[in-house]
Amino acid sequence: MEFRIERSALAEAVAWAAKSLPARSPVPVLGGLMLDAREGRLSISGFDYEASANIEVPAETQAAGRVLVLGRRLLDICRVLPDAVVACALEGTRFTMEGGGTRFGLSTLPTEEYPALPELPASHGTVDAAEFAAAVAQVEMAAARDDSLPVLTGIQLRLDGGSMTLAASDRYRYAVRTMPWKPEGTGSEAVEMVVPGRRLTEISRSLAKSGLIRIGLNGSSGSGGGLIAFEGAGMRTTLRLLEGRLPRYDKLFALDGPAVAVTQREALADAVRRVAVVAEPNSPIRLDFSAQGTVLLQAGYEDDIASQQLTATLTGADDLAVAFNPAYLLEALTSFSGSRVRFELLGAGQRALLSGDPDADDASRDDHRHLLMSVRQLS
pLDDT value for 20: 87
Q: Dump pLDDT digits (tens) for 342-358.
A: 999 999 999 999 999 98
83-92, 111-120, 184-193, 301-310: least confidently modelled range: 184-193
pTM above 0.85, yes or no: yes
Q: Dump pLDDT digits (tens) for 254-300.
A: 999 999 999 999 999 999 999 999 988 879 999 999 999 999 999 98
Q: Dump pLDDT digits (tens) for 203-233.
A: 999 999 999 999 999 865 455 569 999 999 9
pLDDT value for 363: 54
Cβ–Cβ < 8 Å for 375, 323: yes
Nearest to 248 by CA among 347, 340, 156, 343: 156
Q: Dump pLDDT digits (tens) for 294-347.
A: 999 999 887 889 999 999 999 999 999 999 999 999 999 999 999 999 999 999
Q: How far apart are CA 38 and CA 83, in angstroms?
A: 23
pLDDT value for 19: 87
Q: Give the confidence band of 68 by pLDDT, cuts at 50, 70, 90.
A: very high
Radius of gyration (Cα) for the chain, nearest Å? 25
Q: Report the relative pairing of strands 351-356 and 259-264 from DSSP bridges.
A: unpaired
pLDDT value for 279: 87
Q: With 80 as the cut, is the pLDDT of residue 188 above it?
A: no
2-6, 105-109, 121-125: least confidently modelled range: 121-125
CATH number of 2-113, picked from 2.40.50.100, 3.10.150.10, 3.30.470.10, 3.20.20.70: 3.10.150.10
Q: How far apart are CA 3 and CA 6, in angstroms?
A: 10
31-40, 90-99, 105-114, 211-220: least confidently modelled range: 211-220
For 149, other C-beta atoms within 10 Å of its C-beta total 11
Q: Which CATH superfamily is domain 123-247 in?
A: DNA Polymerase III, subunit A, domain 2 (3.10.150.10)
Q: Dump pLDDT digits (tens) for 120-172.
A: 898 999 999 999 999 999 999 999 998 889 999 999 999 999 999 999 999 99
Q: How far apart are CA 80 and CA 285, in angstroms?
A: 46
pLDDT value for 130: 96
pLDDT (mean) for 192-196: 95
Q: How far apart are CA 208 and CA 7, in angstroms?
A: 22
Measured on CA atoms in the order 17, 18, 23, 29, is the torsion positive or negative?
positive
Q: With 80 as the cut, is the pLDDT of residue 39 above it?
A: yes
Q: With 90 as the cut, is the pLDDT of residue 47 above it?
A: yes
Q: How far apart are CA 269 and CA 281, in angstroms?
A: 18
Q: Which CATH superfamily is domain 255-373 in?
A: DNA Polymerase III, subunit A, domain 2 (3.10.150.10)
Residue 86 phi/psi, 5° resolution?
-105, 125
Q: How far apart are CA 128 and CA 182, in angstroms?
A: 9
Write a three-state SS string for the chain: CEEEEEHHHHHHHHHHHHHHCCCCCCCHHHHEEEEEEECCEEEEEEECCCEEEEEEEECEEEECEEEEEEHHHHHHHHHHCCCCEEEEEEECCEEEEEECCEEEEEECECHHHCCCCCCCCCEEEEEEHHHHHHHHHHHHCCCCCCCCCHHHHEEEEEEECCEEEEEEECCCEEEEEEEECEECCCCCCCEEEEEEHHHHHHHHHHCCCCCEEEEEEECCCCCCCCEEEEEECCEEEEEECECCCCCCCHHHHCCCCCEEEEEEHHHHHHHHHHHHHHCCCCCCEEEEEECCCEEEEEEEECCEEEEEEEEEEEECCCEEEEEECHHHHHHHHHCCCCCEEEEEECCCCCEEEEEECCCCCCCCCCEEEEEEECCCCCC
Percent of the chain scored above 70 by pLDDT?
95
Distances (CA, A) of 79 to 8, 14, 64, 90, 235: 9, 10, 25, 20, 20
CATH 3.10.150.10 in the chain, residues?
Answer: 2-113, 123-247, 255-373
